[in-house]
């Protein structure tokens, strides 16, 4: 009886589509900034921007003029308007730098004669 050897799909070289998918997942994953881990997908950034624009009108402000913000790790951080403004700027900068790095690395991965495996691509530190 002849045995068939099948590779674990996570150990095969990644397809161009898998590289693109992992790049996109990492691009929107939370970023670490001075005040903690913040979600940085487009919807999260829009929520933060809207909260800044309408800060004084928000019915959910705390008595000390802070807003409870849910971080990327689901913990709660009371934030002032100034903290939200500086955090949004830091999140946008961090995301832009990470996105640029991810796009360059994705292109390099696609051009390599032996591409990384999906298991390697799943690890953000492999990209950075």
pLDDT digits 0-9 by tens, 87-103: 999 999 999 999 999 99
CA distance 20 to 14: 10
Q: How confident is the model at residue 125 (pLDDT cuts 50, 70, 90)?
A: confident
What pTM, to 2 d.p., does this model score? 0.79
**What's the chain's average pLDDT?**
90
Whole-number Å distance between alpha carbons of 76 and 82: 17
Instruction: Write the secondary structure of 54-99 as one string of H (helix), E (strand) and C (coil).
Output: CHHHCCCCCCCCCEEEECCCCCEEEECHHHHHHHHHHHHHHHHHHH
pLDDT of residue 9: 64
């Amino acid at each position: 009886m002849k045995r068939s050897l099948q590779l674990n799909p996570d150990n095969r070289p990644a397809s161009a589509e898998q590289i693109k998918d992992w790049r996109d997942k990492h691009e929107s994953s939370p970023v670490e900034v001075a005040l903690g881990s913040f979600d940085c997908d487009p919807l999260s950034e829009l929520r933060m921007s809207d909260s800044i624009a309408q800060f004084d009108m928000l019915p959910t402000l705390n008595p000390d003029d802070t807003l409870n913000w849910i971080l990327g790790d689901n913990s709660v951080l009371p934030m002032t308007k100034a903290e939200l403004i500086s955090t949004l700027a830091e999140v946008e900068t961090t995301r832009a730098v990470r996105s640029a790095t991810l796009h360059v690395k994705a292109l390099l991965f696609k051009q390599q004669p032996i591409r990384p495996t999906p298991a390697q691509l799943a690890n953000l530190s492999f990209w950075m």
